[in-house]
Amino acid sequence: MGLTKITAICLAICLWGVNAFAAKSDAFTTQAASAKLITAENAIAPNAGVLSAGISVALSDGWKTYWRSPGEVGLPPEIDWSGSTNLASAEMLWPAPTRFRAFGIENFGYAKQVTFPIRLTLTDPGQPAVLKADVFLLVCSDVCVPQDLPLTLNLPAGTGIDQSAAAEIANWSAKVPTDSALSNLVAKAHFSDDKSLLTVAISGPADWRGADIFPEIEDSIAFGKPDIRAAPDGNSVWATFPIFGDDPDPSTLALTLITADTAVTFETIQIAASAPEPPFAKAKASAGLGARLWMLLVAFLGGLILNVMPCVLPVLSIKFISALKMSDRPITQTRLGFLASAAGTVSFMWALAAAVLVLQALGMSVGWGLQFQNAYFLIALILVLAVFTANLVGLFEFGLPQGLMTRLSHSKGNGYAADFATGMFGAVMATPCSAPLLGTALAFALTGTPKDVVMIFTAMGIGLALPYLMIAARPQWVSQLPKPGRWMAAVKAVLVAMLFGTLVWLLWVLQAVSNLTVMAAIVAILATILICIIWNNRVKNGLPVAVALMAASAGFALPMILEQPATVQTTTLNWVPFSRSDIPKHVSLGHRVFVDVTADWCLTCKANKVLVLSRDPVAGALTAPDIIAMQADWTRPDPEIQRFLESNDRFGIPFNIIYGPASPEGIVLSEVLTQESIINALTQAAK
């Protein structure tokens, strides 16, 4: 063999030896992800003590993995280097994440492809090393799957650079946010008094287009969907974040800002004494004429349906009694009386719309029926209803101050203030109910412009007032009613029982919102007032009347306490307390989650429970091993539940939604549940 050939063979062997130690590990591939360990260096040069490495992850279509702060749910990647040799430490860097939404929840992470730059420090510089990285990734699509990816790379002593690996590591290193000390930006933050809201303001020169902010705090705290606004002058950005978790520590707060030209991490943040003001009011989308007309019809029908809800029927009974008493009045007076009741209903809806606009201008969350979470409102309502009821029973005739109402019920006279008050009171009693179509109309109003709020609430008021308007249009219908006689005693007894049932229900809601002591105190006050009325007016047989009223109250309360009739075949449900962050965890395991948002003051919720949820086949289906029955009790204010409702464009209850492997974003059910709708949705949610 000639010398030239021997030299060529030796050179080839040498070159083969260098290339045999590639700067990439073998890829570890699963259905969801593929990962490999790469280094910029082909080998470890003499005296080299630091290496540039990276974990390169390719994700299949539709799959994502998480940042170091994953968001409301999720887990960050973890790397175990304990199996390596000649490795002193490994510092992992985090490229800027993107925000993505799943299950109605905010998460931060990466899709398609990401490389995590890693700075490796050797124990013995210049010596060979064996790099073993056991990588843990949680990857999510419709389901979440934990991935364990063992990666190994041998680096001998030598020289050489892997150009493609070096370029990839350099590219992703450039996406790692820099320290804010190197920028001209200043961040301020403020926590609300109840620590349920974080407000952030960042000022300085930057291209604020598409700006996003990622707060970080201790592991037990997460942040929901932000409201981010850039100042028109281009010198600052402002954002608010709902906080999920208990009692966050402001001293641990960090922020990462990502804009079109900047990625900065703020470790040192000034905690302001007051919340920074937003640079401008958040604009609301204005719907087209066709959409508005359709929503007006939906709102009208929703208000009309409210008339047959159990909340309003007791008040309509008062008007029915009034109509019987007015059967001998002139047609004009009858018409004006019912028009006054309709005006009271619509006026209350206007007052409610004005309150909504004021609260929204103050930055507060607004929902339907939230006043029933307030004990003072309930006490006032109980006292007013007690006055209505006592008057209807005939214990007294009572006149309130001029300007509020002249009489609650009357048989003669031309005053219409009582009719106006009756219509208004009926509208008040409608607010704890949520009827079909009402949720859609409310979502349109509360997310729309001020004009939308006024129009939708007006349409609801007209729908709720339609029974009054119909009689006002044909007042002769009243004259066609049977003449007052003995039959009225039976009708009156039924209507009085309905009013007392409503009164007991309000007392029951009061003890749930406050406590049993408050309810007992109000009962004592009402009993004292009743005794005083009976004694003062010397009502004949007053004691039997009082006993009968107490018996009627007890008879109404007993089914409420038992929550369901004894004749109904029921299945006991083991409700799990509501946890928004647990929903995707259950779904990732192949479970279906039935969420029931309810409250003691929501009669529609109680009807759903008694008539549908507690009966087979629904109750039996909800006890299946792969179904989680999750209940959110909104009797008292709960910011987490309210944010959950708002994230689903709902502002009132009942609200029911079913999640599952085939429906990770959820299937929203109607306000009035049926067995068929629930069973079909459970089937649809299963994969």
Strands (E), 60-196: 64-71, 78-80, 89-92, 98-102, 105-111, 113-121, 129-140, 144-155, 178-179, 186-191
For residues 354 and 465, membership in a common domain is answered with: yes
Taking only the tens place, the pLDDT of each residue in 493-543 is 666 676 677 777 777 777 766 777 777 777 777 776 666 666 555 555 544
For residues 206 and 352, membership in a common domain is answered with: no
| Residue 483 to residues 145, 197, 327, 478, 502, Cα–Cα distance (Å) | 74, 61, 8, 10, 28
**Hey, is 344 helix, strand or coil?**
helix
DSSP state letter for 207: -
The answer to whether position 484 is within a domain reads yes
For residues 131 and 188, membership in a common domain is answered with: no
Among 522, 478, 307, 498, smallest CA distance to 392 is for 498
Among residues 505, 531, 562, the one where a domain terminates is: 562
For residues 150 and 263, membership in a common domain is answered with: no
Q: What integer pLDDT is reported at residue 388 of this predicted model? A: 64
For residues 466 and 600, membership in a common domain is answered with: no
**Hey, is 110 helix, strand or coil?**
strand
Per-residue pLDDT for 635 more than 80?
no
For residues 239 and 95, membership in a common domain is answered with: no
For residues 163 and 185, membership in a common domain is answered with: no
Taking only the tens place, the pLDDT of each residue in 266-293 is 887 888 878 777 776 555 555 567 767 8
For residues 187 and 166, membership in a common domain is answered with: no
For residues 229 and 328, membership in a common domain is answered with: no
**Tally of domains within the chain:** 4
The answer to whether position 7 is within a domain reads no
DSSP state letter for 475: T
For residues 528 and 610, membership in a common domain is answered with: no
Domain of residue 655, CATH code: 3.40.30.10
The residue segments making up the domain with residue 631 are: 576-685
C-alpha dihedral (298, 302, 305, 310), degrees to nearest 10: 170
Paired with 258 in beta bridges are 212, 263
Using a 10 angstrom Cβ sphere, with 0-12 exposed, 13-18 middle and 19 or more buried, the burial of residue 93 is: middle
Mean pLDDT of the chain: 76
Taking only the tens place, the pLDDT of each residue in 162-202 is 889 999 999 999 999 988 767 788 889 988 877 778 899 99
Among residues 142, 175, 208, the one where a domain terminates is: 175
Among residues 562, 586, 621, the one where a domain terminates is: 562
Tally of residues, the chain: 687
Total-model pTM: 0.54
For residues 264 and 315, membership in a common domain is answered with: no
The answer to whether position 598 is within a domain reads yes
Domain of residue 107, CATH code: 2.60.40
The answer to whether position 77 is within a domain reads yes
The answer to whether position 276 is within a domain reads no
Per-residue pLDDT for 408 more than 50?
no
Taking only the tens place, the pLDDT of each residue in 569-593 is 444 567 888 988 788 778 877 889 9
The answer to whether position 10 is within a domain reads no
Q: What integer pLDDT is reported at residue 675 of this predicted model? A: 86
Taking only the tens place, the pLDDT of each residue in 653-664 is 788 999 988 888
**Residue 480, φ and ψ in degrees, nearest 5:** -85, -5
The answer to whether position 475 is within a domain reads yes
For residues 499 and 374, membership in a common domain is answered with: yes
Name residues whose C-beta falls within 8 Å of residue 220's C-beta, 6 or more positions apart in sequence: 245, 246
Taking only the tens place, the pLDDT of each residue in 371-403 is 666 677 677 767 766 766 666 666 655 444 444
The answer to whether position 114 is within a domain reads yes
